[in-house]
Structure 1
Amino acid sequence: MLSVSDTQAVIFDLVQALDHQGETEVVDLLTATGRILACPVTSNLDFPHWDNSAMDGYAVRYSDVQNCSAEQPAILAIVESIPAGYQPKLTISQGQAARIFTGAVMPKGADTVVMQERTSQKENFVHILAAPQPQEFVRRKAAFYQAGTQLLPAGIKLNAAEIAVLAAAQCSQVSVYRRPIVAIFSTGDELVTLDQPLAPGQIVDSNGYALAALVRQSGAEPLMLGIVKDEPAALEKTIAEAIANADIVISSGGVSVGDYDYVEQILATLQAQIHIRAVAMRPGKPLTVATFPPKVPRGDNHQRVPVYFGLPGNPAAVLVTFLRFVQPAIKKLAGLAQGWEIEFVKVRSHKELRSDGKRETYVWGKLQVVNGVYEFSPAGGSHSSGNLINLAQTNALAVIPVGNTLISPGEEVEVSFNRG
């Protein structure tokens, strides 16, 4: 049985990112939100495109106003008004100023902007009532970005700010990594679909829905293969279909040591190499991770090795093992250059957290701000791995290390916030 850290290391070594040449697609910018940029982006535009004003006020020559004050204002003739989007026509000479608005192009001859609150206009003259700093409120051409240099690097997720930058750079289309395909199926004779009436001993396959949602939140496309009964032939057929069509395969249930747990047997039949069979964590001990002989992905000649995750059947164990191991693996595979590993922060525990200390223990609950301080509150009710109900409305996992049996209220605990 591997430790959690050793398990993480094995999985992250197995998962290789998509290739930036053969596993990309070009999408319109309006549909690129949440995608991973496959190639660096440069622009032939400077930002700002020209010297412009950062304030409503007056464009002046600093030498004309450097010694002025309210008692001895500099009095300048207003020779032009420059709104945003207007190209100045005149050059500012000694003793002159231009009325200028935020974002407008600086006129030739002017090197400083005086904000209007420090001025007084009288007919066609402006009185400068306070000396500005040299070049104050002037945004210089290329001060933010110089044309021809890298604007955005490959391997980043395109969120609102990145989309705005690309739009400003007139990039109507971008090259992004294709979304990884994740096959999902659930095993067990007791499982039924949600539209079926429940007979005694039967339960709805909620894991399939949870995993599909988690896969989408992670930036991948779920391939739903449904429920597989505890029959070796049916299981072998489903896994064979999954590895032929997906980059990652996730099953729930069937990976323990019961009489009807056939997953490991079928993996051996399909020539899989099993890397992990159990992890020293609670919940989530029965975790199977395997790889298969390489396959050739669509559209290129690069070999790709499908990775199989056999998750436990209990819903809390499915959530914990997915967030701890599978979600980072999907994000790495998807081409995210950094930030794909699970992150923990230390926060204050609102309530007592307990463990037997024998395995690394995960407690689900809420990370929230209480009196200006982040606190973790465990979900109410039983923390049995079979308790699906109190998983709802949780957003974080707290970890109790091996050997630690108690975290008292007010003590620090390491928490991972589920950002999706």
Structure 2
Amino acid sequence: MLSVRDATEIIFNLVQPLDSQQDTEIVDLSTAHGRILATPVISPLDFPHWDNSAMDGYAVRYEDVQNSSGEQPVSLEIVAEIPAGDQPQSTLQPGQAARIFTGAMMPQGADTVVMQERTHREDNRVLIMATPKPGEFVRRKAAYYQAGTQLLPAGIRLNAPEIAVLAALQCSQVKVYRRPRIAIFSTGDELVTLEQPLQPGQIVDSNQYALAALVRQIGAEPILLGIVKDHPTALTETINYDVNNADIVISSGGVSVGDYDYIDKILAALGAEIHIRSVAMRPGKPLTVATFPQSPIYFGLPGNPAAVLVTFWRFVQPVIRKLGGLAEGWEPRFVKVRSHDELRSDGKREVYVWGSLHLVDGVYEFHQAGGSHSSGNLINLAQTNALAVLPVGRTLIAPGEEVEVLENV
């Protein structure tokens, strides 16, 4: 049985990101939110495109106004008015100013903007009532970005700021990694679908719905294969299909040591290399991780619903993010916070306790979910957003003590 640290190292080293040449597609910018950029973006445009005003006021020559004050204002002739979107038609000469508005292009000859609150207008002249700083309120051409250099790197997620940048480039389409294909099925003779009448001894398959939701949430494409009975032939056919049609295969159930737990044997018979069979954690001890020659990674998760979610958050979610081309930030994110409750463990395995983070007096606290923390209890997982981690050897975390929390659940 591997430690969580050793299992994590093995699993993450198995993953190679999608190919930046073959595993890509072109999408419209309007549908690119959340996608992973496949190639760097380089613009032929400077940002700003030209010198422009950051304030409503007057464009002036600094040398004309460098000694102005309320007691001795400088009077300048207003020779133009420049709203945003207009191209100035004249060049400022000594003793001249142009009325200018926020975002408007600076006229030739001007190098400074005096905000209108520091001026007084009299017909076609303006009195400058204070000395501005040289170049004040002027956004210089290429001050934000210089044309021809890298603007956005490959491997980033396109969120609202990046979408705005691409729109400013007039980039109507963008090259992104395709969505990873994740095959999902549940195993067990006791499982039934939502539509089937529930008989004594049967359980509704909730795992497949939870896993599909998690896969979609991180931007991948779930391939749902339903419930597969505990029969070697049916399981072999399903796994064979998965290997040829998915980047990652996730099954739940069938990876423990019972008489009807066939997954490991079938994987070995199909030529898979099994890297992990169990991990020293609770919940989630029965965990199979294997690879096939044609590269798909197989995750055989436990059958109990809480164990399914915990092992997905801890191991599978980062793998899908890395596979999907995310260059940074795909790893699990742990933070240290204050525990609101007493957290207990037998200290023999790394224990994950589900609950919620709350901001209390400016400090984040972990609140343990109420009820039983059995791996079979799905109910009290609802409305949780964090997993507290009790390391091996730690049996107690008292209220008010610091606890490490997996936050991206």
With normalisation by structure 2, the TM-score equals 0.98
Name the amino acid aligned to 2:371: G
Name the amino acid aligned to 1:313: G
Distance 1:117 1:279 in 2: 68
Which segment is superposed worse, 234-243 or 205-214? 234-243
2:7 paired residue number = 7
Name the amino acid aligned to 2:393: G
Name the amino acid aligned to 2:299: F
Note the alpha carbon deviations across 1:130-161, whole angstroms, 9 max, x for none: 21111011110011111111111111111111
1:358 aligned residue (348, 351, 369): 348
1:308 paired residue number = 298
- CA shift for structure 1 position 418: 2.1
Which segment is superposed worse, 315-324 or 394-403? 394-403
Which segment is superposed worse, 386-395 or 247-256? 386-395
1:225 paired residue number = 225
1:201 lines up with 2:201 in the alignment: yes
Residue correspondence of structure 1 range 259-270 to structure 2 within 5 A: 259-270=259-270
- CA shift for structure 1 position 122: 2.3
2:362 paired residue number = 372
Distance 2:122 2:368 in 1: 66
Note the alpha carbon deviations across 1:50-89, whole angstroms, 9 max, x for none: 0001111111111122222222222222111111001111
2:145 paired residue number = 145
Name the amino acid aligned to 2:114: V
1:337 lines up with 2:310 in the alignment: no
- CA shift for structure 1 position 115: 1.4
- CA shift for structure 1 position 404: 1.2
2:356/2:386 contact within 8 Å kept: yes
Distance 2:167 2:138 in 1: 24
Distance 1:149 1:32 in 2: 22
2:332/2:408 contact within 8 Å kept: no
Distance 2:235 2:52 in 1: 66
1:247 paired residue number = 247
1:413 aligned residue (397, 403, 408): 403
With normalisation by structure 1, the TM-score equals 0.95
Question: For structure 1, which runs of at least 5 residues remain unmatched after alignment?
Answer: 295-304
- CA shift for structure 1 position 163: 0.9
Question: Post-superposition, which runs of at least 4 consecutive aligned residues in structure 1 deviate over 4 A?
Answer: none
2:383 aligned residue (393, 401, 405): 393
1:26 is paired with a residue whose SS is strand
1:341 is paired with a residue whose SS is coil
Name the amino acid aligned to 1:241: Y
- CA shift for structure 1 position 32: 1.0
2:25 paired residue number = 25
Distance 1:99 1:378 in 2: 62
Give the superposed CA RMSD: 1.1
1:163 paired residue number = 163
Name the amino acid aligned to 2:123: E
1:58 paired residue number = 58
- CA shift for structure 1 position 242: 0.9
1:98 is paired with a residue whose SS is strand
Distance 2:43 2:263 in 1: 51
1:324 lines up with 2:342 in the alignment: no
Name the amino acid aligned to 1:203: I
Distance 1:45 1:397 in 2: 46
Distance 1:45 1:183 in 2: 43
Distance 1:271 1:109 in 2: 75
2:333/2:408 contact within 8 Å kept: no
